[in-house]
Amino acid sequence: MKKNNKKKSTNCLIICHGKSEYLLANYLKSNLRIPAKIVSDKNGKKSIQINSLKNLFSGKYFKSKNILENHYGLNINENFKIFIIMDTDDCNKEEALNYKNKSMFKNYWFYKFVIPIYNEPNIENVIKSSNLSAMKNKTDVHRIFPIDDNINKIESIIFVSSKL
């Protein structure tokens, strides 16, 4: 069988803290048709903490550009981005600051691609503080970020964006 030599078009990797962040990333990927790979622990069922990112990045998949490209099917070029969506409530202030200003990534080959996105203290509180009426508790996040073709996608995204 001949190998498909098509150029990979995915040049975005999204690393998610937990279930809510995973739902947000999947919502944006699906509704905006963004060619992205989402990395989470068991689809967000287990959380990735800011202070455990070092373990993830020291693992076998982030050792080199070629390994990362091949494992996730990425096209790492000058437009490639690694969006990391984390809550800051489960780390100390110094770790949160090093995450926000990217200094915790400075020793990795992919430093220039990292865009840290953070929720203070967590995504559920950020959503609640934005007065999105659908959010009553942590399990309601799927109402705000539904993966449903029957919803007017752009209007939904604009609505959520205007509330944040």
DSSP state of 7: P
Q: Note down pLDDT in tens along the chain; length 164 residues.
A: 444 444 467 789 999 999 989 989 998 898 888 899 999 999 889 999 999 999 999 999 999 999 999 999 999 999 999 999 999 999 999 999 999 999 999 999 999 999 999 999 988 888 778 776 555 666 666 666 666 555 556 666 676 667 65
What local confidence, expressed as pLDDT, does residue 1 receive? Answer: 44
What local confidence, expressed as pLDDT, does residue 127 receive? Answer: 78
DSSP state of 105: G
121 cis-preceded (ω within 30 degrees of 0): yes
* Partners of residue 32 on adjacent β-strands: none
Report the SS3 class of residue 17.
Answer: coil
What local confidence, expressed as pLDDT, does residue 147 receive? Answer: 61
What local confidence, expressed as pLDDT, does residue 150 receive? Answer: 52
Report the SS3 class of residue 8.
Answer: coil
| pTM tops 0.85 | no
